[in-house]
Structure 1
């Protein structure tokens, strides 16, 4: 995992807290989901380590 992705994984919860509206934060690389921080009303749609779908 790149240093940039490690940094975003570390600050993801704080990014969510900085927003005025309810948001979810999703971090991915080019192959899989790395981290998902759900919002208060936004359901968790993915799980970490699950692969992204191929684009058609």
Structure 2
């Protein structure tokens, strides 16, 4: 039997969590893009914006 590393388990959990969340949104009637990377980049932009305003 092959052992699976902890990092592989974490990656699988992260991937399945993301896909389950998108499926849940779709069931609720929200329009969901197939690419989660788009969300990540916009999230980074929002965090950067508020980090700038927090310093000022």
TM-score by length of 2: 0.31
* Greater percentage in strand: 1
Structure with the higher helix share, 1 or 2: 2
Name the structure, 1 or 2, with higher relative contact order (CA <8 Å, separation 6+). 1
